Structure 1
Amino acid sequence: MPATKPDSKADLFTAAPLPVAPLDDQQRLACLRLIRSENVGPVTFRELINRYGGATQALDALPELGRRGGRGRAIRLCDSATAQRELEQAQKAGATPIFTIEPGYPRNLAALDVPPPLIYVKGRTSLLQEPSVAVVGPRQASAAGRKLARLFAAALGEAGLVVVSGLARGIDGVAHETALPTGTIAVLAGGVDKIYPPEHDELYARISDTGCIVSEMPCGFTPRGSDFPRRNRIISGMSLGVLVVEAAKRSGTLHTARRAAEQGREVFAIPGHPLDPRAEGTNYLLKEGATLVTEPADIISALKPLTAQGDRTFREVAPDTTTLEAFAPEPLPEIAESDRDRVLAVLGPHPVELDEIARATHLSIRAIRAILIELDLAGRIERHGAALVSRIND
């Protein structure tokens, strides 16, 4: 079961216990089949697991759920052979799949409204359970920016924080290189076996040996431009906070900072000269409410309360791994055809919250969630996070 969303920033690293029962080969194959089946997005994956108690049971239910939602043709299910090939390819690349419903999945990432159902990891997977901070900046970084990235990454690592970044040129590469002795995680836009940029092949190899490589994409996947924003949400989602060293006014670095703010993470920015275009983004973030930092101690002192560790170093206290209670699937509520019609009738192209649907239809949230699973599998709605939904024109 995915970790519960924290009630406050202080709960990010200490609140929800992680699952302790690893999936067996059959369960792992079923989970991958479910994720790769038609119209099963991250929200519906989680809802199906919660409703049926396992991926195998959910797969069996998909055709009927889609039919009840008004789908005219059968849902395309991912077959076992296709899913098995993906798992075998990952094994050849030295990567391990970790699902949200098994131990080892990053705690902070699991706390998001819509965490990636699956990530592939390569290297020291134990780093995923350590408190971490992202260090990001432009590819065309200044000499001063590179020096600051080294200074901050080294001090943050010595304080016990794992440094997370995206293996890009510039600030990302400097942060990874500096944090190798203390722990670093590289999040890729492509598969964990797709080194980008190619000139970071040696750095990639060193991170694979002493750090950790992470991606939500299958091995062999070559990244496209649209995949980098998806990667950015994982960089920020894994971290307690994000440090922006330099950033242009319009850049992927600012996108990472925006995602961090949306996820409830701390956003730190180093101020820059007003005439330097590489400082426009960081200065803008500061005007928008980011925390101004001029030395690593500023970040360390700000993040200490989020882990409830006081003056101790971040790794002196191991993360809580309390055993979860035995999970029982929720019984499905009775859904009448008129109930589905009522939900569809109040939906339009503008996303609305589940609470609004409940007020308009006088249906329970449990019933609405069950109806939305059916409508989602039928391709009649679009999810916008965990609690927002809109109707797709029939």
Structure 2
Amino acid sequence: MSQFTDNTYWIAIAHLPRWGTERINRLIIDVVHEKQMTWDAFFTLNKDEWQKIFPFTDKELTDLENVKTDIPRLAFIAEQLQNEGFEVIPINDTAYPTLLKENLKIRSCPPVIYIKGRKSLLQEKAVAIVGSRKAGKAALEFTDAVAKKCVADQKVIVSGFAKGVDLQALDSTLAVNGKSIIVLPQGIITFQSGFKKYYQPIVSGNVLVVSTFFPKAAWEVGLAMARNVYIYGLAEEIYVAESDNKGGTWEGAMNGIKRQRKIYVRIPEQLEKNANLELIRLGAVPVDAYGAVMDINSATTIQAASLVAESTEPYHTINRDIEKEILGLLKTGSFTVKEITETVKPDWDNRKLSGFLKKNPNIKTVSGKPVRYTIQDVIVTSLF
């Protein structure tokens, strides 16, 4: 089977409508690894044959029949990708980034990635620098300093090509002849203006453009949010320049903390309004304006923390000793809010306690009436 034909089938499988990522990955495992079938052989089967060999639901069978009829259209897209110098890298290809599999596992790992540029960058040590589109001066200066330090350490910078921190990370990297991976919030074919702007660093091997979305997908907010997962997934180290207490940067950092990854967060300057300290309280590693790790208990850090004007959520004033007492209690079993209050006797009202229990990534909810809380067990499965 030719590379062109194979790519057509991979595009068809990777973007099965309304199939979750994990379901698609399990189909790939079943077809390619367990049954040792080619996609060409798979798509020559009819509905009855699929039903005999695979445990598909009626909806899944219908979806597969529909995508089978769509193969000619997808072949034109595969041809365009090939003619314009893009590469299609499926999840079982040796060029597929190992770190992405390790970080995202079967549940979230994209079945296919589309790239243009020097693909060996996918296998090099990489650092993600993330933050707000409307980042302040301190956050942008931090981004510049960390990017240049990482380039000096021969590390690739991963960014999402959004305004603010993302573009600062990219520009600072290229300014010192560093290497960068741009992770797109859109289909790779729709990034034509970007390819023109970064033509020289792409052909020189300093920039690799990556997309996980359907090749002709236009930019949209949902894709921008989904893209953040892949930025974090492609990096060994993650630096947060500035985060609100919601949105893509916050969600990505919280997910990283929950997976017990090291998330480095800049200690904010006096009177900055952001959620950086909240991320540090939840388990992120505090760093200074140049990315150097700080001791959260040091006098300098505590002084800075006491003068920071963060968001006005009640959770932001949590006392660390009480927090530790609650976590210690939850390690022994599951408890209701009332039981936690009676045992720990925190100097908090119920609203503040509930906010802490719901926001802390180490705590999980146990369904029932009343709701109970306990420590989250982090369990992740390997991909292949």
Moved over 6 A (4+): none
For residues 247-304 of structure 1, the C-alpha deviation after alignment (integer angstroms, 9 at most, x for no partner) is: 2222322122123334543211001035322xx22111101110111234549xxxxx
Matched with 1:167 is: 161
Structure 2 CA distance for partners of 1:70 and 1:149, relative to 1, 3 Å: closer
> Helix, strand or coil for the counterpart of 1:119?
strand
Tell me, in whole angstroms, the C-alpha distance in 2 between the residues paired with 1:207 and 1:265.
Answer: 31
Q: 1:247 to 1:206 in 2, by over 3 A?
A: farther
Unpaired stretches in structure 2, ≥5 consecutive residues: 295-378
The answer to whether residue 79 in structure 2 is matched with residue 91 in structure 1 is no
Residue 221 of structure 2 aligns to a residue whose secondary structure is coil
Please say if residues 99 and 119 of structure 1, whose CA atoms lie closer than 8 Å, have aligned partners that are also in contact. Answer: yes
> Corresponding residue for 1:208?
202
- 1:94 deviation in Å? 2.9
**Corresponding position of 2:40:** 56
Q: For this pair of structures, how many residues does the alignment match?
A: 277
Deviations along 1:312-344, one digit per CA (max 9) or x if unpaired, are xxxxxxxxxxxxxxxxxxxxxxxxxxxxxxxxx
Q: Give yes or no for contact 2:266–2:286 (8 Å, CA) kept in 1.
A: yes
> Does the 8 A contact of 2:4 with 2:82 survive in 1?
no
Answering whether residue 218 of structure 2 is matched by residue 234 of structure 1, we say: no
Is the aligned partner of 1:35 residue 2:25? no
2:271 is equivalent to residue 275 of structure 1: yes
Q: Which consecutive unaligned segments of at least 5 residues does structure 1 have?
A: 1-21, 300-384, 388-394
Whole-Å separation in 2 of the counterparts to 1:43 and 1:386: 13
- Paired position in structure 2 for 1:221: 217
User: Which of 240, 262, 266 is the aligned partner of 1:244?
Assistant: 240
TM-score between both structures, scaled by the size of structure 2: 0.64
> Where in structure 2 are the equivalents of 1:66-105 lying within 5 Å?
69-71=56-58, 74-75=62-63, 76-78=66-68, 79-105=70-96
The yes-or-no answer on 1:293 pairing with 2:287 is: yes
Deviation of the 1:33 alpha carbon: 2.6
1:107 aligns with 2:98: yes
1:150–1:174: 8 Å Cα contact kept in structure 2? yes
Distance 2:24 2:86 in 1: 22
One-letter amino acid of the structure 2 residue matched with residue 42 of structure 1: T
CA contact (8 A) 1:134 1:164 kept: yes
Name the CA distance, whole Å, in 2 between partners of 1:264 and 1:47.
25
Identify the match of residue 158 of structure 1 among 123, 139, 152: 152
Seen in structure 2, the aligned counterparts of structure 1 residues 142 and 36 have a Cα distance that, compared at 3 Å, is closer
Residue identity matched to 2:5? Q
In the TM superposition, 1:343-354 aligns within 5 A as: none
Q: Distance in 2 between matches of 1:142 and 1:133?
A: 21
2:353 aligns with none
What are the superposed Cα offsets for residues 98-146 of structure 1, whole Å, 9 maximum, x if unpaired? 1101121111112222310011111111111101110011121222221
**Kindly tell me: are residues 62 and 146 of structure 1, through their superposed partners in 2, closer, same or farther at Cα, counting changes over 3 Å?**
farther
CA pair 226-74 structure 1, distance change in 2 beyond 3 A:
closer
1:265 correspondence with 2:261: yes
Structure 1 CA distance for aligned equivalents of residues 245 and 252 of structure 2: 13
* Cα deviation code 1:134-167 (max 9, x no counterpart): 0011121222221111111000111121110101
Q: Which has the higher contact order (CA 8 A, sep 6+)?
A: 1
Q: Contact (CA 8 Å) 2:190, 2:215: kept in 1 or not?
A: yes
Greater helix proportion:
2
Alpha-carbon RMSD across the aligned residues, in angstroms, is 3.0
CA contact (8 A) 1:190 1:223 kept: yes
The more displaced of 144-153 and 82-91 is 82-91
Pairwise mapping of residues 273-352 of structure 1 onto structure 2 (< 5 A)?
A: 273=269, 275-277=271-273, 280-294=274-288, 295-298=290-293
CA contact (8 A) 1:195 1:204 kept: no
